[in-house]
Amino acid sequence: MRGAVLYGPRDLRFEERETPTIIKPADAIIRISATCVCGSDLWPYRGISPVARPTPMGHEYCGIVEEIGNAVTSVKPGQFVIGSFFASDNTCPHCQVGYQTSCQQREFVSTAQAPILRVPLADGTLVATPDVADGGSANHRNESSRVEAEGCPRVRRHGHRGRARGRRRGSH
């Protein structure tokens, strides 16, 4: 599998990397449908932040679930999902009040500029959309346009969680 790796300021290479696999029971493997460059990716690319070693790039993503670990219950293979730059369990006290980026179990997702991605803590990190996008349907074109229009997937993910949380508490 080929993926983007940053070696230093303005030295970005597309090279062979290991194809991710399930490592822990809470992992999911997704096939990337869309990924974007986040502003935090640009700091090391521009040389503002140091690059100590070759670093795989990418932490804004969405795609189709290919495989899940045996502890994953909220997503299933074939679902279109949106993820975040921090993997979170969505059960710790920080997550419960809406601060998934401060999750006590958080892991940074940093290899999404590639065709396949391992997502740790999948139940707390991935949000499935109501419909699975298929390659040629109008629904797929509309979903792709919506993702592009909304920007990075984290906007969609956090917006979705906020709407869901608001409905559960009775406010909009």
Give one word for 121, left, alpha or beta, with left for phi > 0 and alpha for psi -120 to 50. left
Q: What's the pLDDT at 150?
A: 41
Q: What's the pLDDT at 134?
A: 54
Q: In which residue are the tokens 């869901």 written?
A: 164
Q: What is the pTM of this model?
A: 0.76
- Kindly state the tokens that stand for 43: 């700091």
* Interval 148-155 mean pLDDT: 40
Q: What's the pLDDT at 164?
A: 43
Q: In which residue are the tokens 């030295």 written?
A: 11
- Strands 55-56 and 2-8 come out as antiparallel
pLDDT tens for 36-89 read 888 888 999 999 999 999 999 998 899 999 999 999 999 999 999 999 889 999
Could you give the domains of the chain?
A: 2-169 (3.90.180.10)
Choose among 125, 129, 127: nearest CA to 90: 125
pLDDT tens for 8-30 read 999 999 999 999 999 999 999 99
Judge whether 20 and 63 are in contact, CB under 8 Å. no
pLDDT tens for 75-129 read 999 999 999 889 999 999 999 999 988 999 999 998 999 999 999 999 999 999 9
Q: What's the pLDDT at 49?
A: 94
Judge whether 114 and 17 are in contact, CB under 8 Å. yes
pLDDT tens for 131-147 read 765 544 434 444 444 44
